[in-house]
Amino acid sequence: MVDSRQEHIKLGTYPPEQVYQVLQTSPQGLSSQEVKERQATYGPNQLKESKKEPIWLTFFRHFTSLMALLLWGGGFIAMLSHSLELGIAIWLVNIINGLFSFIQEYRASQATAALNKLLPSYARVLRDGKEDKILAQDLVPGDLVFIEEGDRISADGRLVAVTDLQVNQSALTGESNPIYKSDQADLTPDKTELEYDNMVFAGTTVSSGSGHFIVSAIGMKTEFGQIADLTQNLAQEKSPLQKELDHLTKQISVIAVSVGLFFMVAATLFVHQPLSQAFIFALGMIVAFIPEGLLPTVTLSLAMAVQRMAKDHALVKKLSSVETLGATSVICSDKTGTLTQNAMTVNHLWTLSDSYEVTGLGYASEGQIEQEGRPISLEDNELLNRLVRFSHLASNAQVVAPSADNPNFTILGDPTEACLNVLAEKAGINLNDNHTWAPRLKEIPFDSDRKRMTTVHKLELGLDGSQHISITKGAPKEVMELCSDYYDNQGMIKSLTATERQAILAANDQFARDGLRVLAVAYRPLDSEHIGEDKWDMQTLEDNMVFLGLVAMSDPPRQGVREAIEKCHRASIRIIMVTGDYGLTALSIAKKIGIVQGDDARVVSGLELADMDDNQLKEALKGEIVFARVAPEQKYRVVNALQELGEVVAVTGDGVNDAPALKKADIGVAMG
Active-site residue list: 334
Are the beta carbons of 139 and 145 closer than 8 angstroms?
Answer: yes
State the distance between the two ends of the chain, measured CA to CA, in whole angstroms.
Answer: 38
Residue 661: which of 615, 225, 653, 237 has the closest Cα? 653
> What whole-number distance in Å separates Cα of residue 541 and Cα of residue 444?
9
> What whole-number distance in Å separates Cα of residue 579 and Cα of residue 353?
37
Burial of residue 311 (CB within 10 Å: 0-12, 13-18, 19+) is: exposed
> What whole-number distance in Å separates Cα of residue 398 and Cα of residue 394?
12
- For β-strands 199-200 and 205-217, DSSP reports them as unpaired
Question: Residue 398 forms beta bridges with which residues?
Answer: 412
* SS3 label, residue 365: coil
> What whole-number distance in Å separates Cα of residue 83 and Cα of residue 75?
9
* SS3 label, residue 247: helix
* SS3 label, residue 334: coil
Residue 418: which of 358, 473, 344 has the closest Cα? 344
> What whole-number distance in Å separates Cα of residue 400 and Cα of residue 410?
5
- What dihedral do alpha carbons 646, 569, 625, 657 form, nearest 10°? 80
What is the CB neighbour count within 10 angstroms for residue 10?
Answer: 14
Phi, psi dihedrals of residue 327, rounded to the nearest 5°: -95, 0
Maximum distance among all alpha carbons in the chain? 123
Q: In what helix (H) or strand (E) does residue 124 lie, and over which residues does it extend?
A: strand 122-127
Are the beta carbons of 107 and 173 closer than 8 angstroms?
Answer: no
> What whole-number distance in Å separates Cα of residue 147 and Cα of residue 151?
6
> What whole-number distance in Å separates Cα of residue 352 and Cα of residue 431?
26
Task: Give the number of C-alpha atoms closer than 13 A to the C-alpha of residue 54, restricted to the C-beta side.
Answer: 3
Distances from the Cα of 211 to the Cα of 147, 166, 167, 286, 298, angstroms? 5, 10, 11, 74, 57
> What whole-number distance in Å separates Cα of residue 143 and Cα of residue 27?
10
What is the CB neighbour count within 10 angstroms for residue 24?
Answer: 14
**Sign of the CA dihedral 591, 595, 598, 601?**
negative
- For β-strands 205-217 and 144-148, DSSP reports them as antiparallel
Task: Give the number of C-alpha atoms closer than 13 A to the C-alpha of residue 632, restricted to the C-beta side.
Answer: 28
Residue 600: which of 625, 569, 568 has the closest Cα? 625
b/e map 69-85, b = 16+ CB within 10 Å: ebbebbbebbbebebee
> What whole-number distance in Å separates Cα of residue 8 and Cα of residue 198?
12
